[in-house]
């Protein structure tokens, strides 16, 4: 996913740089006479229409795939409660009591089954970002005090997954991490 996003960006950025360079050179070559662009209003209209249609297609294809709608019709086979706090994640398959939060030493989840993470925070805002074994970010949500964000995901590959905090939360934010295993 990240690679294709980067490629898309690089191609579009290179195209834009080419257009600006081309237009600049055309001005330097123009001499004394204004040749300009013929029918600019018409061309502007077409440019706008194409952009509108492209963005419309992007929006209609991507919005239904937003994480809020992921696996919405299915029932999760496992639920993991996550309570984030400065500077650790507490995870348990049982509900966590905020007054005496206790988690499980290790979490094992099944591959190819729907897992729901119920993520909250006991102090400040944190991030709950899941990285696969090649350190690629695959899914995330925020941990916010007073709220529970439900993140649903199916893990295809067995192995160890790392969790990192992706919302700056204080002086030890960089060491706030945890993990679980998918079998």
Partner 1 sequence: MESIKLRKITSLWILIVLVLFIVNIVLGILMRLNQGEIIHQSPITFYANMTTHGLTQIGIWFVAGMAAVNYLLQRYVKTSYSANVVAMVLTVIGILMLWASTYIGKFHAGWTFLYPLPLKIMWAKWATPMFLGSILVMGVGWLTWSVSMMTQLLKKYPLTRALAWQHFKKNPSTQTPPFILISMITLIGIIACLLGAVLLLAMYSAEYFSNGTFVNDALLMKNLTFFFGHTIANEMLYLGLAVIYELFPEVGGRPKWKTTWYVALAWNCTLVFILTAFFHHLYMDFVQPVGFQIVGQIASYMASLPAASVTIFSVLVAVYRTPIKWSLTNLLFFIGVAGWVIGGLGAVIDVTITNNFVLHNTLWVPAHFHTYNALGNVLFSLAFFHWFFNPIYQGHP
Give the x-and-dash track for 62-101 against partner 1 (CB under 8 A): xx-xxxx-----------------x---------------
CB atoms within 10 A of CB 131: 18
> Which helix (H) or strand (E) covers residue 177, if one does?
strand 177-182
Tell me the DSSP string of 15-54.
HHHHHHHHHHHHHHTTTTS----SSHHHHHHHHHHHHHHH
177-182 and 78-85 strand pairing: unpaired
Q: Is 3 in the site for partner 1 (CB under 8 A)?
A: no
Q: Is 42 in the site for partner 1 (CB under 8 A)?
A: no
Closest by Cα among 76, 82, 106 to 94: 82
Residues of span 101-120 touching partner 1 by CB under 8 A: none
Query: Which residue in the set 82, 169, 176, 182 belongs to the binding site for partner 1 (CB under 8 A)?
Result: 169
Closest by Cα among 100, 104, 109 to 130: 109
Task: Give 12 or 111: the residue with its C-beta nearer to partner 1.
Answer: 12
CB of 84 to partner 1, least distance (A): 13
Using the contact rule CB under 8 A, the part of the chain among 43-51, 93-101, 108-116, 154-162 near partner 1 is 43-51
Query: Which residue in the set 90, 114, 122, 148 belongs to the binding site for partner 1 (CB under 8 A)?
Result: 148
The SS3 assignment for 104 reads: coil
Give the x-and-dash track for 20-39 against partner 1 (CB under 8 A): x--xx-xxxxxxxxxxxx--
How many residues bind partner 1 (CB under 8 A)? The answer is 69
Angle subtended at Cα 90 by Cα 86 and Cα 95, rounded to the nearest 5 degrees: 130
Provide the 8-state DSSP code for 120: E
Q: Is 132 in the site for partner 1 (CB under 8 A)?
A: no
Measured CA to CA in angstroms, residue 86 lies from 31, 62, 126 at distances of: 65, 34, 8
Residues near partner 1 (CB under 8 A): 1-2, 5, 8-9, 12-13, 16-17, 19-20, 23-24, 26-37, 40, 44, 47-48, 51-52, 55, 58-59, 62-63, 65-68, 86, 123-125, 127, 129, 137-142, 144-151, 166-174
């Amino acid at each position: 996913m990240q690679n294709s996003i980067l490629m898309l960006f690089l191609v579009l950025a290179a195209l834009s740089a080419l257009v600006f360079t081309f237009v600049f050179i055309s001005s330097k070559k123009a001499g004394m006479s204004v040749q300009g662009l013929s029918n600019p209003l018409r061309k502007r209209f077409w440019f706008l229409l194409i952009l509108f249609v492209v963005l419309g297609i992007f929006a209609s294809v991507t919005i239904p795939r937003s994480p809020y709608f992921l696996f919405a019709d299915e029932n999760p086979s496992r639920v993991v409660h996550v309570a984030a706090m400065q500077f650790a994640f507490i995870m348990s398959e049982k509900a966590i009591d905020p007054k005496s939060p206790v988690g499980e030493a290790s979490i094992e989840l099944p591959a190819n089954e729907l897992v729901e993470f119920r993520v909250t925070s006991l102090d400040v805002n944190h991030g709950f970002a899941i990285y696969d074994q090649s350190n690629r970010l695959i899914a995330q949500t925020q941990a916010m005090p007073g709220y529970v964000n439900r993140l649903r995901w199916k893990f295809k590959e067995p192995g160890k997954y790392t969790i990192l905090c992706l919302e700056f939360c204080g002086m030890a934010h960089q060491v706030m991490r945890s993990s679980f295993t998918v079998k």
